[in-house]
Structure 1
Amino acid sequence: MVMDLAVELIHATVQLEQPLGDGTRTVGTGFLIATAGPDGQPRTVLVTANHVLEKMPGANARIGYRIANPDGSWSYSPQQLKIRDKDGHELWTHHPNRDVAAITIKAPPEFAKAALPLNYLAADDTFDKEQVTAGDEMMALGFPRGLSANSAGFPILRSGKVASYPVAPAKIFPTFLLDFSVFPGNSGGPVFVSHPVKGEPGVTQVADKAPEKGDSGFIAGLLTQQVELNSERLEIGIVTHAKYVRETIALMQNPLAPQTVAEGMTAVSGGRTASAEEAARD
C-alpha cells in the first residue's frame, strides 16, 4: 500500500499548549514516533523542542488529539499531558546540547497508530546518501501562532528551501537553515523530505510505514528557532538535525547513551563571522 508521507506526518503532528491564566497560552508543535521501550514493548514518544516544554510552567500541558467520526468528519479533542511531577520536576528527557525533548505518552489507540517508526528519522549518513544540499526543498508542519489548518486541529503544511551550506555532517553542523516564515507555535514541528513515486510526478509515498533506506523520504529534523536581527524577522528557520532526536530517544532508554557534541572547525586566529543561529529567537 502506498501512502503520502506528508499526510502521514500530518496525522502524527500535534499541537501542544498550556494556558497561562491571564488569557494567553504557550503553544508549540510536536510529532509522534513509535519505538520500543526499555522492556522491549512498543511505546509512543512525543518529540518537540525542549524550550516548548520549558516555557510551560504548569504540571500539565494539553496535547491536541483528533478523532475521526463515522460520517467522515473530524473532532478536535485535546487531552491533558502530565509534563511535571508534584514537585515540579521535568518528566521529559532533553538532549544535553541541543534544543530537543522527548516524552513517552499514552495516546488513544487510534492516534498511537499515526506515530511514525524511528527509522524515518534521518541517520548520520542520510544527508550524504540523499545528496541533500543548499537549495533543496523541504516541508515543515506546525501551528504558527497557535493556528491550525481547520477546526479539526490539523497542522499547517509549509515548505522552504535549504538556505545554508554545508548541511552535514551533523556533528560539525548540528543545525541548518530553512528559508520560510517562522512564527511562535512552529517550534518543535517536523521538517521532512518526501520522494516522488516513480511514474507519478509530485506524489510522495511511504510503503506500509516500514521504509527501506532512501525509498520514501525522511524526517530531516525539527524546527527549533526563528531568526531575528534588531527585532526584524528574517523569515528564516533553524532546523536541528534528526540525529539529535535519535539521541534524545536513546537517552530515554539509557541515560548513559552517547551524545554528540558539535565539533568546532580549526579557524585562523582573529577570524569571526556573525551566524544566523546566534541571532535566533524562540
Structure 2
Amino acid sequence: MRIDTLAKRLMFNTVRVDTVLEDGSQGSGTGFVVSHQGPHGLRRFIVTNRHLVEDVRSGGLVFTQGRDGQPLIGTRFELEIEEFPHAWFLHPDPEVDLAIVPMAPLERAAREQGVQLYYHGIDTALVPDAATVGAFDALEEVLFIGYPNGVWDHVNLLPIQRRGTTATPVGMDFEGRPEFLIDAAVYPGSSGSPVFLFRPEGVSPAGGARAPLYFLGVIAAVFFREEENQLVAGPVPASTQPCGVVRQSEMIDLGLVIKSKVVVELIEEYCRRWRE
C-alpha cells in the first residue's frame, strides 16, 4: 500500500497502548503522535488519557516498523516501558484526563535495538484557532481513530477509523470545561483516540475554502445510562472485560472529547519544565 493520501497517513498516527492492570486483567487503549514547534525546536510526543497509564502494573506501545521511510506493513515492534506509569507527564490538573510522553527517548530505545519506527505525527498547527472554531457549524462530521473494544487489524497492525458528528458545538465549552461531545460509537479501547474534522474536499458548508483537516481533541469518556435512568460520564474503560463502571449500565454513544488546545497547553507546560 502506498501511503499517498491524508487518510492513509492518519492510519499511522496512532499507536496501541497495551497495559496489564493491577487486578491482572489486560487493557488496551489508543495513543497518537503529535509534533509541536516550540522555542527550542520541534518536539514530538505521544498523547493519551491519564486513566490509561495511571496505576497500572506494566505497559507498552505497539508501533509499525519502517525502513527507508516506508512502513513494513504488519511488522510489529512493541516497546515495553520500564516503570510505565512514571514515564508519563500528567496534566497538572488531576481532573484533566491527559498524559504525554516524549518520542525522542522511545526512538532512541528502538534504534538501540536496530528498529526504525514508522509513524505520521499530526502538527499542533492543525489545532483550529478561535476564528476558525467560530466558523464551524453547530453540527460537523468528525473522524476518530483507535482500537475500539481492542479491535484492530492485528495482521497489518492498522487501527479502526470511525465517523460521527459533533453533538455539542466545538466552539462552546460543554458544562463550562474545555470539552465537547460527539455522537459516535465510543467503546473500551477508544480512550485516547484523536478526533478530527476531516473534509478532504476542503470546502465549508458556507462555500468558503477551509483546510481539509483540523485536530479537534482527544476522546476521554463515554456517557452511560444508569439503572435509575440517570446519565453519567465515565472514563472509557481500558479493559474489554466487565468492570465496575459498566455494571448495570448502558453506553449511549455519546463521547466526551477534551479540546486540542488543552493538549497544546500540556505540551507547552512540559517544554517549560524539561529540555531534551
TM-score computed with the length of structure 2 as normaliser: 0.73
Residue 124 of structure 1 and its aligned partner are, at CA, apart by 3.8
Taking the aligned partners of 2:101 and 2:131, their CA distance within structure 1 comes to 26
Q: Which has the higher contact order (CA 8 A, sep 6+)?
A: 1
Match of 2:13 in 1: 12
Identity rate, percent: 25
Indicate whether 1:217 and 2:221 are aligned: no
Letter in 1 for 2:138: T
1:102 to 100, 107, 111: 100
Go from structure 1 to structure 2 and tell me whether the alpha carbon gap of 1:251 and 1:49 turns closer, same or farther (over 3 Å shift).
Answer: same
Residue 55 of structure 1 and its aligned partner are, at CA, apart by 4.4
Residues 64, 73 of structure 2: 8 Å contact kept = no
**Paired positions, count:** 233
Taking the aligned partners of 2:120 and 2:23, their CA distance within structure 1 comes to 34
TM-score computed with the length of structure 1 as normaliser: 0.71
Residues 63, 118 of structure 2: 8 Å contact kept = no
Taking the aligned partners of 2:272 and 2:172, their CA distance within structure 1 comes to 24
Taking the aligned partners of 1:23 and 1:152, their CA distance within structure 2 comes to 27
Match of 2:237 in 1: none
1:256-267 to structure 2, matched below 5 A, reads none
Residue 9 of structure 1 and its aligned partner are, at CA, apart by 2.0
1:143 to 147, 151, 163: 147
Q: What stretches of structure 1 of length at least 5 have no aligned partner?
A: 200-212, 256-282
Residues 145, 184 of structure 1: 8 Å contact kept = yes
Match of 2:193 in 1: 189
Go from structure 1 to structure 2 and tell me whether the alpha carbon gap of 1:103 and 1:32 turns closer, same or farther (over 3 Å shift).
Answer: same
Residues 122, 218 of structure 1: 8 Å contact kept = yes
Residues 49, 101 of structure 1: 8 Å contact kept = yes
Indicate whether 1:167 and 2:173 are aligned: no
Taking the aligned partners of 1:197 and 1:146, their CA distance within structure 2 comes to 31
Residue 66 of structure 1 and its aligned partner are, at CA, apart by 0.6
More moved, 230-239 vs 94-103:
94-103
Taking the aligned partners of 2:71 and 2:153, their CA distance within structure 1 comes to 20
Residue 89 of structure 1 and its aligned partner are, at CA, apart by 4.4
Taking the aligned partners of 1:232 and 1:186, their CA distance within structure 2 comes to 16
Describe the SS at the equivalent of 2:9.
Answer: helix
Go from structure 1 to structure 2 and tell me whether the alpha carbon gap of 1:227 and 1:79 turns closer, same or farther (over 3 Å shift).
Answer: same
Residue 247 of structure 1 and its aligned partner are, at CA, apart by 0.8
1:128 to 124, 130, 134: 134
Residue 133 of structure 1 and its aligned partner are, at CA, apart by 1.6
Residue 90 of structure 1 and its aligned partner are, at CA, apart by 5.5
Instruction: Provide the aligned C-alpha RMSD in A.
Output: 3.1
1:1-282 to structure 2, matched below 5 A, reads 4-20=5-21, 24-36=25-37, 40-58=40-58, 61-68=59-66, 73-82=73-82, 84=84, 89=86, 91-96=88-93, 97-105=95-103, 106-107=106-107, 110-111=116-117, 114-129=120-135, 131-134=136-139, 136-164=140-168, 166-170=169-173, 172-197=176-201, 214-230=210-226, 231-254=249-272
Taking the aligned partners of 1:235 and 1:198, their CA distance within structure 2 comes to 28
Go from structure 1 to structure 2 and tell me whether the alpha carbon gap of 1:198 and 1:37 turns closer, same or farther (over 3 Å shift).
Answer: closer
Go from structure 1 to structure 2 and tell me whether the alpha carbon gap of 1:229 and 1:156 turns closer, same or farther (over 3 Å shift).
Answer: same
